[in-house]
């Protein structure tokens, strides 16, 4: 994890502070030699690049991502003001994804080759082929503009637990494709597990079908699901750039795009580093959960 974070931060630092010149953000003002000298001194741009990186890394290790060039605010304050909205959106999207994906996958596997299996297979195939922004635009038009059932854009009230109807459309847009993939994955793993010897043995012992499915089959089928959910959650928490901008949702992904357009490199560097850290940590947690779900893959002395 540490090596990954350091490697990514090096590449980003070089791309944002060596390939481009942050002072150019200020346009004509920065061309004044006095103003340019003050800016370079303020942001340590006169130091050698390795020294700039070491100073930045030292500050980041203490939780300080520096100061926004454009807004003159600490990058931490800007990021953390957006995190609650992104976390709320990610949690709601994951809940929708789990409810739809697991239920559809289980029904499809249990009633194999039935009408429900065909319906789930057809629906998930269509959903996987839809780009998220196309689905989002369709939902905005149908549910927001034409039928006026839900807000088309906006974030809703601030706060970790303040959720209203503004979050439904972006959350469903994020969850739809992942739910389709999850349903297909659940169906495939469940069918494989149901053919296993221990499932036939459990049925031969006279256990009820519900006990066989929930206690013996589902626990073993859920391991690949945990991997996908972990990756999906890491991606959502890191910031959903397209969906947040499509719905004008004030989260980390929208803040990243705004910083890119404004050439505010400290914010870009801070948000991308935060995103990579969230993704890597989530992947590590998923690896630990493997051992809890399946004793066969625990690491012993």
Q: What is the CATH number of the domain that holds 131?
A: 1.10.3720.10
CA distances from 93 to 168, 171, 210, 268, 295 (A): 9, 5, 28, 25, 30
Whether 79 is in a domain gets the answer no
Whether 72 is in a domain gets the answer no
pLDDT of residue 296: 67
pLDDT of 27 > 60? The answer is no
Whether 68 is in a domain gets the answer no
Instruction: For the chain, give the percent of residues with pLDDT over 90.
Output: 11
Instruction: Give the model confidence (pLDDT) of 78-87 as tens digits.
Output: 888 888 898 8
pLDDT of 49 > 70? The answer is yes
Instruction: For the chain, give the percent of residues with pLDDT over 70.
Output: 88
- Asked which of 10-14, 41-45, 181-185, 269-273 is least confident by mean pLDDT, the reply is 41-45
pLDDT of residue 236: 81
Residues 27 and 168 in one domain: no
pLDDT of residue 172: 92
pLDDT of residue 109: 87
pLDDT of 291 > 60? The answer is yes
**Are residues 243 and 131 in contact, defined by beta-carbon separation less than 8 angstroms?**
no
CA distances from 89 to 26, 59, 137, 143 (A): 34, 30, 18, 18
Residues 225 and 267 in one domain: yes
Whether 73 is in a domain gets the answer no
User: Please, what is the average pLDDT of the chain?
Assistant: 82
Q: Where are the alpha helices (DSSP H) in the chain?
A: 2-17, 33-42, 49-61, 75-110, 115-128, 132-139, 168-194, 197-204, 209-211, 218-238, 241-246, 252-261, 265-293
Q: What is the DSSP letter of 226?
A: H
pLDDT of residue 215: 76
Q: Structural domain of residue 183, as residue ranges?
A: 86-297
Residues 43 and 162 in one domain: no
pLDDT-derived band at 57, boundaries 50, 70, 90: confident
pLDDT of 300 > 70? The answer is no
- Separation between Cα atoms, residue 63 and residue 83, nearest integer Å: 15
Instruction: Give the model confidence (pLDDT) of 256-278 as tens digits.
Output: 898 888 878 788 888 888 888 88
Residues 98 and 221 in one domain: yes
Domain count, the chain: 2
């Amino acid at each position: 994890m540490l090596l990954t974070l350091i490697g990514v931060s090096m590449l980003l630092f070089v791309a944002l502070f060596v390939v481009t010149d942050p002072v150019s953000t200020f346009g004509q003002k920065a061309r004044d030699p006095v103003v340019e000298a003050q800016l370079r001194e303020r942001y340590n741009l006169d130091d050698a690049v390795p020294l700039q990186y070491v100073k930045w890394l030292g500050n980041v290790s203490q939780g300080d991502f520096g100061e926004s060039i454009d807004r003159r605010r600490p990058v931490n304050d800007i990021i953390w003001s957006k995190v609650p909205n992104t976390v709320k959106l990610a949690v709601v999207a994951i809940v929708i994804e789990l409810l739809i994906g697991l239920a559809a996958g289980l029904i499809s596997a249990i009633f194999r080759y039935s009408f429900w299996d065909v319906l789930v297979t057809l629906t998930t195939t269509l959903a996987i082929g839809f780009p998220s922004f196309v689905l989002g635009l369709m939902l905005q038009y149908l549910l927001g503009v034409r039928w006026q059932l839900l807000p088309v854009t906006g974030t809703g009230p601030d706060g970790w637990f303040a959720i209203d109807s503004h979050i439904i459309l972006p959350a469903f847009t994020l969850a739809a494709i992942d739910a389709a993939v999850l349903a297909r994955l659940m169906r495939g793993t469940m069918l494989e597990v149901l053919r296993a010897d221990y499932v036939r043995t459990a049925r031969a012992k006279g256990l009820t079908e519900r006990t066989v499915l929930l206690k013996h089959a589902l626990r073993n089928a859920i391991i690949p699901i945990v991997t996908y959910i972990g990756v999906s959650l890491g991606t959502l928490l890191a910031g959903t750039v397209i969906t947040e901008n499509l719905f004008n949702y004030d989260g980390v992904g929208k803040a990243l795009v705004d910083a890119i357009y404004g050439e505010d490199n400290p914010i870009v560097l801070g948000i991308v580093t935060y995103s990579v850290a969230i993704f890597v940590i989530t992947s590590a947690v998923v690896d630990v959960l493997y051992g809890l779900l399946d004793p066969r893959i625990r690491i012993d002395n």
